[in-house]
Amino acid sequence: MALVQVGHGTLLAFSGITLPQFTDPQTKDLFLNQSQTAFFGSLGYLGEAVGFCVSGPLVVKLGRRVTLLVTLPITAASWLSLALSPTVWLLLTSRTILGITGGIILTSTFLYIIEIAHKNIRGILSGILNLTRLMGLLMVSSLGVSKLDWRQIGFVCCGVPALSFFCLILLPNSPRWLVTQGRLSEAQKALVFFRGKHYDSEPELQDITQQISNVDKKLNSSWQQMQLLFEPSTARMFLLLIVLYLMVSVNGCHIIMAYLVPIFQAMDSTLDPYNSAIMFYVVRIFGSLVHVCVIDRLGRKPLIIVSYSLCSLCMVTYGAYFYMHKTGNVSDMGWIPLTATMVSIFFFGIGQPALLILSGELLPISCRSIGSSMLSFSLACGAFVSTYTYPMTVEALGEHGTFWLFSGASSVITFVSAVALPETRGRSLEEITGNLINNWHQTTKL
């Protein structure tokens, strides 16, 4: 599953590293004009939005693992199509398809790890998924420094999903998904596979079965899961998570990744922009390593609050630099935006995975598949809009106003998380769902 996430990371980094090649007027290969450049940077997110919509019914019907086994060959073929593209329209089409498969992959792998992990290490395992996705981003950045052209980078990216496909054949399906399908003997075998042959799987299997039996509707229909999602006991938490996901999509991180090298070029820094891009992903990986080390010690909520408050401060600083750049001489202050970017991406690497883990933990299994795909859909739509409109936003508000807008989004995440999010560290998925339902019943009685 971690290897699958490496492949998803290559998709996210590809545009930010290769855009200078596509926009070089002297290029003898495909050239992108301003409109095509905006589409190239944002179509991956638009495709992801479609993929998240498709992933919900797929993971309900086929399961997380089988969905990946269907999707990964399509991903490899799309990378090959991109690398061989003779025209701009095929290039953009291939990137859109990669976004669609990327959305399916992200949902499937995340749900799979959330559902197979023991409660004591669920945060660590989910954090490792995020860490390996960043390894994919770093890999593409390193290929950019190596001076490979975009076609050669595409060929390298093609190999990752192909290798992942063969590894996935060795794994069983998620035990919780198997229970929803009534395949209890397979679910017990899957629990033994993941916990070890000496593990007493019967109590955990009973807890899973009991919670699912309490839902008096079938769980193998996407529409029925949608109805369960908007029942009063789950709708409040789902809408809260939607707000947080939309704020994450416009807090600047996705835009920086999509326009990474051009943004570093705009800083007037003495550092090479491609070397700065590598440093960017190394710092984010380091932040994710810190996340993995502390997520099951400190909890999800404190990490989100601290991380996004510091991200907000960094974006304010970034905007102040561009404001001074517009109104005065900042030739000796080029270190400020680079430092602000590195600090913000470090804390984003700590805080964002915690928010993703919470979204999987706070939704009950009765509607987790559809709910997770809808949350990811909102994130992808927001990322597409903010990334596509970034050049227009800069033109309207200036670079300083744009980054102050990003700061405001991180401030909203901080405030909402501090006021409304519960802590889930050290609790099983069934315990978390039970507590949320009990709290809702107490609220309605009051």
Higher-confidence residue of 42 and 347: namely: 347
Alpha carbons 128 and 134: distance in angstroms, whole number: 10
Directed axis angle between helix 429-445 and helix 232-249, to 10°? 110
Average pLDDT over residues 123-139: 84
Report the pLDDT value the prediction gives residue 216, as an integer from 0 to 100.
45
Predicted confidence (pLDDT) per residue in 182-219, tens digit: 888 888 888 889 888 887 878 888 887 877 776 544 45
Which residue's entry shows tokens 């197979």? 116
Say if residue 62's pLDDT is above 70.
yes
Of the ranges 81-85, 171-175, 222-226, which one carries the lowest mean pLDDT score? 222-226
Alpha carbons 42 and 387: distance in angstroms, whole number: 6
Predicted confidence (pLDDT) per residue in 133-144, tens digit: 888 888 887 887
| Percent of the chain residues topping a pLDDT of 90 | 13
Report the pLDDT value the prediction gives residue 378, as an integer from 0 to 100.
84
Higher-confidence residue of 347 and 365: namely: 347
Q: Specify whether the backbone of 63 is left (phi greater than 0), alpha (psi in -120 to 50) or beta.
A: left
Report residue 235 CA to chain centroid gap.
22
Give the tokens for residue 299: 């909890």
- Any idea where the domains of the chain sit in the sequence? 2-184+219-445
Mean of the per-residue pLDDT values of the chain: 81
Average pLDDT over residues 387-392: 81
DSSP per-residue codes, 61-102: HT-HHHHHHHHHHHHHHHHHHHHT--SHHHHHHHHHHHHHHH
Report the pLDDT value the prediction gives residue 198, as an integer from 0 to 100.
82
Report the pLDDT value the prediction gives residue 215, as an integer from 0 to 100.
56
Report the pLDDT value the prediction gives residue 77, as an integer from 0 to 100.
94
Directed axis angle between helix 202-213 and helix 429-445, to 10°? 40
57-61, 146-150, 235-239, 412-416: which is most confident:
412-416
Higher-confidence residue of 432 and 287: namely: 287
Predicted confidence (pLDDT) per residue in 258-314, tens digit: 676 677 766 666 667 777 777 877 888 888 888 888 888 888 888 899 999 998 998
Alpha carbons 227 and 360: distance in angstroms, whole number: 18
Give the largest Cα separation in the chain, rounded: 71
Instruction: Name the pLDDT band for 67 (thresholds 50, 70, 90).
Output: very high
Report the pLDDT value the prediction gives residue 388, as an integer from 0 to 100.
79
CATH C-level class of 2-184+219-445:
mainly alpha
Alpha carbons 345 and 71: distance in angstroms, whole number: 30
Q: How long is the chain?
A: 446
Report the pLDDT value the prediction gives residue 298, as an integer from 0 to 100.
84
The CA-atom distances, in angstroms, between 52 and each of 81, 100, 161, 274, 380 are 22, 7, 18, 31, 8
pTM: 0.69
Predicted confidence (pLDDT) per residue in 216-259, tens digit: 444 555 666 677 777 776 788 888 888 898 898 888 777 777 67
Instruction: Name the pLDDT band for 80 (thresholds 50, 70, 90).
Output: very high
| Percent of the chain residues topping a pLDDT of 70 | 87
Say if residue 73's pLDDT is above 50.
yes
Write out the H or E segment, with its range, that includes residue 249.
Answer: helix 232-249
Predicted confidence (pLDDT) per residue in 21-37, tens digit: 888 888 888 888 888 88
Contact between residue 24 and residue 9 where contact means Cβ atoms under 8 Å apart = no
Give the type of residue at 436: L
